[in-house]
């Protein structure tokens, strides 16, 4: 039985803001952002929404992901008119939320597999692309919600199999197979030196007129019972390549090629050079984006916009 939800306040101009929570396997995509002639997550989602509402739709995302990177807890928002929102059901006994999820699933799977079907690809290849992008929930967003600016923090994970016994072929697409053993204790000691509000220029690919100052709230390594080392990183936001650079640096420490102090020394040096190691993208997963209570969404978004405007963030 469907549960009726109260309508969210409309934005200026009568538009309603919609929040979608989704996950994706980034292996076959060239990252989040739209790129001409290349398959991307944003491009695929926006094309599906255009089919649905019959006009171009622009998505705002909580955190861009690079080529080959996955997401389990990505969040986006977009704006629809009242007629577009209410028309999603098309007379079916569904709420607009339910209709959006169901119809997006059908359009996405068709768009992702149609080129393969036309090329008469093997069924196993077609099946592998079905569900590569999945919308888990959709709802009218609370007042002032912004998928990017309302976020309190983002959390990533990274998995490393550094022992033969922990190499599971069934998870190899989301796990780095490292050639020799790493010391997770040394890696944790190194990670402690880069926590807090810091300038992460040494571990970022800076964008023009943008700051590299971030608050890294968690950076830790845990060896799981199956022998895999799992890293967790949480920050208010991450700049380009930051997670992969930090993990790559910690791996050099874990391998004994650098001292535990090296990660912090590199941070203080504020320099990027050939000594840096960029970890492979395929084990990186955006796990979660956290937001404040509904009544705090607008205040959080406004304060974040102000901070980034002042700092070039």
For 194-210, give one letter per residue: b (16+ CB within 10 A) or e.
Answer: beeebebbbbbeeeeee
Residue in 277, 276, 153, 171 with CA at minimum distance from that of residue 230: 171
d(CA 179, CA 129): 30
pTM of the model: 0.91
Residue in 167, 162, 166, 203 with CA at minimum distance from that of residue 183: 162
Q: What is the pLDDT of residue 115?
A: 79
Q: Choose the catalytic residue: 12, 25, 36, 66.
A: 66
Residues linked to residue 214 through DSSP beta bridges, in sequence order: 198
Using one digit for the tens of pLDDT, what is the confidence trace for 207-237?
777 788 999 999 999 999 999 999 999 999 9
Q: What is the pLDDT of residue 13?
A: 56
Contact 239, 166 (CB under 8 A): no
For 93-105, give one letter per residue: b (16+ CB within 10 A) or e.
Answer: ebbbbbbbbbbbb
Q: What is the pLDDT of residue 234?
A: 98
Q: What is the pLDDT of residue 8?
A: 46
Is 21 an annotated catalytic residue?
no
d(CA 212, CA 198): 8
Evaluate the CA torsion angle 14, 63, 33, 26 in order and state its sign: negative
Q: What domains can be seen in the chain, in order of their start residue?
A: 15-141 (3.30.70.580), 153-288 (3.30.70.660)
Using one digit for the tens of pLDDT, what is the confidence trace for 29-49?
999 999 998 999 999 999 999
Residue in 246, 255, 249, 69 with CA at minimum distance from that of residue 162: 255
Ranges of residues in the chain with a pLDDT under 70 are 1-13, 308-313
d(CA 206, CA 21): 28
Contact 18, 85 (CB under 8 A): yes
Q: What is the pLDDT of residue 123?
A: 79
Q: What is the pLDDT of residue 1?
A: 34
Six-digit token pair at 302?
């406004």
Q: What is the pLDDT of residue 3?
A: 36
Rounded to the nearest 5 percent, the helix, strand and coil shares of the chain are: 35, 25, 40
Q: What is the pLDDT of residue 214?
A: 93
Residues linked to residue 71 through DSSP beta bridges, in sequence order: 24, 286
């Amino acid at each position: 039985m469907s549960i009726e939800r109260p309508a969210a306040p409309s934005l200026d101009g009568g538009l309603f803001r919609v929040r979608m929570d989704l996950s994706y396997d980034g292996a076959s995509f060239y990252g989040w952002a739209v790129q001409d002639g290349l398959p991307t997550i944003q491009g695929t989602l926006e094309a599906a929404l255009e089919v649905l509402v019959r006009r171009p739709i622009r998505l705002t995302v909580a955190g861009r992901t690079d080529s080959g990177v996955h997401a389990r807890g990505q969040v986006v928002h977009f704006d629809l008119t009242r007629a577009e929102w209410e028309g999603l059901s098309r007379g079916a006994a569904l709420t607009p939320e339910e209709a959006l999820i169901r119809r997006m699933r059908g359009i996405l799977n068709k768009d992702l597999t149609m080129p393969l079907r036309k090329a008469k690809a093997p069924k196993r290849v077609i099946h592998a692309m079905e569900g590569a992008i999945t919308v888990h929930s959709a709802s009218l967003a609370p007042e002032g919600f912004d998928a990017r600016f309302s976020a309190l923090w983002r959390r990533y994970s990274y998995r490393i199999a550094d022992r033969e016994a922990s190499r599971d072929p069934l998870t190899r697409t989301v796990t780095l197979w490292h050639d020799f053993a790493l010391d997770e204790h040394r890696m944790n000691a190194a990670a402690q030196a880069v926590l807090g509000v810091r300038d992460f220029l040494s571990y970022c690919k800076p964008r023009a007129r943008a700051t590299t100052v971030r608050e890294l709230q968690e950076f830790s390594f845990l060896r799981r019972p199956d022998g895999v080392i799992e890293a967790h990183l949480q920050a208010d936001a991450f700049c380009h390549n930051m997670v992969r650079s930090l993990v790559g640096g910690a791996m050099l420490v874990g391998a004994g090629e650098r001292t535990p102090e090296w990660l912090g020394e590199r941070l203080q040096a504020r320099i990027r050079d050939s000594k840096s190691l960029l970890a492979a993208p395929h084990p990186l997963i955006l796990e979660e984006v956290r937001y404040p209570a509904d009544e705090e969404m607008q205040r959080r978004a406004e304060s974040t916009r102000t901070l980034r405007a002042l700092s070039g963030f």
